[in-house]
Amino acid sequence: MNYFRTGILLAAMTGLFLAIGFMLGGEAGMAIAFLIALAMNAFAYWNSDKAVLRMYGAREVGPAEAPEYYATVQQLVRRAGLPMPKVYIMDNDQPNAFATGRNPENAAVAATTGLLRYLSKEEIAGVMAHELAHVRNRDTLIMTVTATIAGAVSMLANFAFFFGGSSRNNPLGIVGTILIMILAPLAAALVQMAISRTREYAADAGGAEICGNPLWLANALERMERGAMAIDNEEAEANPATAHMFIINPLHGGTMDNLFSTHPNTANRVQRLRELAGSAGPWDSGAAAPRSSGVTGPWGSGPTGPWG
């Protein structure tokens, strides 16, 4: 169902792109704009992972630098049937994480020092399983395709200022041009956000399967949301276009589950995971990860934080 919904949203964005292109320049203008946007996003697809990791000052670690964190990812990778990704740590007190890379063979997972310091071992496993689910689902590819089409729509909207008013395919003239310039990028952004939220729900379910206990991820989401509200992520605030990559919205004031949110409402996600835990499934035996398990690792003294 999630892939079906994603397909419908991608088809809707593609249809919007084709309609705008035809209104502005007919088939020829549409094709030229699409090729330019495709080239721009292809470059971003091959290089965006390195750029984002540099943006957040992420450093690659191995079993020597972070043995428990690295071993957790290794164990989850085996359960997920994936190649081992590169493992990174970001020096940031906000508990958060993301995955990047164009495919499972070129993937990377990154966690903040805040996440490794304040969450229990089980909760960390739930979070990293969610990120590996993104890798397994090839969500980076899906979001890159989405960005390509959204970029093409925005480019066509900019072209509207120069060519739209005189196009014979635009019966509304200058009024239609203004509407295209304003509404087209907004519509594309809304669809892009809807796809992002759909993929988050899918990664929650996949992460629950990979780690073996949906409640580990549910507990982690609740604690991370409190942390994100209490602790600034200055890099994310300076680069809000990357907010959709994180498991929890790193920007303050972004918890509403509406058209303008890149993430589903955390309470809704937690509810789904708790319902999943209560149903029959391939979950490991055991209760939820304890709020304070006393887990100690090379990244900090245990799962306690200033936000509860």
Residues marked as catalytic: 131
What burial class does residue 245 get, using C-beta atoms within 10 Å of its C-beta: 0-12 exposed, 13-18 middle, 19+ buried?
Answer: buried
Task: Report the Cα–Cα distance between both ends of the chain, in Å, rounded.
Answer: 36
Q: Pairing between strand 108-112 and 59-60?
A: unpaired
Q: What residues have CB less than 8 Å from 63, skipping those under 6 apart?
A: 70, 71
User: Rounded to whole angstroms, how far apart are CA atoms 134 and 151?
Assistant: 22
Closest CA to 270 of 218, 224, 207: 218
Residue 35, Cα to own-chain centre: how many angstroms? 26
Q: Pairing between strand 86-90 and 97-100?
A: unpaired
Q: What residues have CB less than 8 Å from 286, skipping those under 6 apart?
A: 213
Token digits of residue 208: 């629950």
